[in-house]
Each structure stands twice: as C-alpha cells, then as structure tokens.
Amino acid sequence: MRAYRSPLKLFVFGIIGIVLIAAAADILFGHWLSTAPDTIDTALTTRGRAQQRGDVLWGGVMLVAGILIFGGSVIELFRRRATVVVGSEGLVVGSDAAEGLIPWANIESISSTVVSDPYDGSMREQLVVELQPNQAIDSTVVESATGGGTIYVDAHDWSNRVTEVALAAQGAHDHYQRMEAVRSYEPPSIEWETTVDQLDVAESDGDTAGGESEESDE
C-alpha cells in the first residue's frame, strides 16, 4: 500500500503560487491593481522612491514564494512520490529509496492520531510509529517529526485516510511477527519421545518377568 499527497490540495497550492506570481508582477511592473509610487511630472518624489523600494522588496518576496509554491506543486503532481509505503520488509517513510526503510523488526506498533497544530491550532492527522526499545531512526533520513522512540508522520494532505494506512501497516507488521514465530518454532524431538516410550516398555517388561518368576517359585 502507498500513501500519496492529495492531488487536489497540490492543485490548490499551485493556484496560490500563480496568484502570488501575478500579484508580484502587478507590484513590480504593471500597477494594474496596486498603487503606483508618487510622481511629479513623471519624476519620483521622495515618498515615491520609498514606495518603490517597498514595492521591490515585497514584490520580490511574493515572486520567489509564488515560484517555489507553484514549482513544488507541479513537481509533486508529476512525480507522484509516495510519502509512505507499506512493504513486505518494513515501512518506507518519506522516500521510495531504501534509506527511508524502517524494518518491521524495529517497529513495536503502528497507529493513527489527530493532534492540534501548534502554529494555527488546526487539527492534523498523523501516522504514529512506535519503535522497539533502544531503536533510533535518523530524523535527517526519515522526513518526519521524531520524539524519543516514536515517529509522527504528518498525514493531513494524504489522498488516503490515515486510518486505512495505519490498519494496513499494522496488518503487515502482525503478519511479519507471525512468520517470524513460525520460522523460530522448533517442534518437539521425536527421538526423545521414542526413547521415553522405549524406557516405559522396558520397565513394563521387567515387571512382567518378575511377576512370572515369583509365580513359578511358588
């Protein structure tokens, strides 16, 4: 199972980027909606020069932000990189590459939760990965927030419901544990059981022979 960022939300971010670029073009060049710097006979006044510097500053910031947001959205839409992959060997977080792989042996459990965003107070869904004791994942490799032995993966913009991903991951983790239990299971020794049975038969034959001997002496 793979979880991707929602295409609709990426599209909305792309629209926001276009709006920022258009606003920057208006502030820097056209002044179709924004107020132009003050001039007298086409010459900038002192106040106009200050306004122009402010327009360059804010227009530049909005232009850079718009290009980054729009470019990032387009790249994500076409690349479609999975944010979480539930595989046979483990859970891949933040990348399809092996560097982001968390083996099932290192995971205690997988669940989901909803937490409050510390910046805007909105409720955000998160995938919670509890690690085995004394297990640590490098946060520079795993693109998620790490707290102690727990990894929190932000899932607010996934196309899949975080509960579905958590159930699929926990199911794969349980399957791994069952298979490991089967591999490590050692059946009782047949040779040992046979030896015990043979000893019991030998003792029984000895008791029978002793009884017959006593009867013959009488």
pLDDT at site 153: 86
Average the pLDDT over 117-144 and give the result.
Answer: 72
pLDDT at site 21: 94
Per-residue pLDDT tens digits for 4-47: 777 777 788 889 999 999 999 999 888 888 888 888 777 778 88
Average the pLDDT over 180-200 and give the result.
Answer: 65
Residue with tokens 């971010």: 13
Distance CA 102, CA 90 (A): 5
Distance CA 216, CA 139 (A): 87
Query: What is the torsional sign of CA 158, 160, 166, 172?
Result: negative
**Residues sharing a CB contact under 8 Å with residue 152, sequence separation 6 or more, in sequence order:** 115, 126, 127, 128, 129, 144, 145, 146
Query: What is the torsional sign of CA 144, 146, 149, 155?
Result: negative
Per-residue pLDDT tens digits for 83-103: 888 888 888 887 555 567 888
pLDDT at site 24: 93
Residue with tokens 């399809």: 96
Distance CA 170, CA 86 (A): 9
Q: How many CB atoms lie within 10 A of CB 214?
A: 8
* SS percent in the chain: helix, strand, coil, step 5: 55, 20, 25
pLDDT at site 143: 47
> What burial letters (b/e) apply to 61-95, b meaning 16+ CB within 10 Å?
ebbeebeebbeebeebeeeeebbbbbeeebbbbbb
pLDDT at site 65: 94
Average the pLDDT over 59-63 and give the result.
Answer: 93
Contact, 163 vs 126, CB < 8 A?
Answer: no
DSSP string over 153-194: EE-TTBSS-HHHHHHHHHHHHHHHHHHHHHHH--PPPHHHHH
Higher pLDDT, 17 or 48: 17
Distance CA 163, CA 167 (A): 6
pLDDT at site 16: 92
Mean pLDDT (the chain, rounded): 78
pLDDT at site 135: 65
Average the pLDDT over 167-192 and give the result.
Answer: 82
Domain boundaries, the chain: 2-79, 84-184
| Most confident stretch, 122-136, 158-172, 193-207 | 158-172
Average the pLDDT over 177-181 and give the result.
Answer: 88
- For residue 197, pLDDT beyond 70: no
- For residue 80, pLDDT beyond 90: no
Element (H, E) at 107: strand 107-116
- For residue 201, pLDDT beyond 60: no
pLDDT at site 9: 79
pLDDT at site 122: 76
Please give the DSSP secondary-structure letter assigned to residue 5.
B
Average the pLDDT over 123-133 and give the result.
Answer: 86
pLDDT at site 22: 93
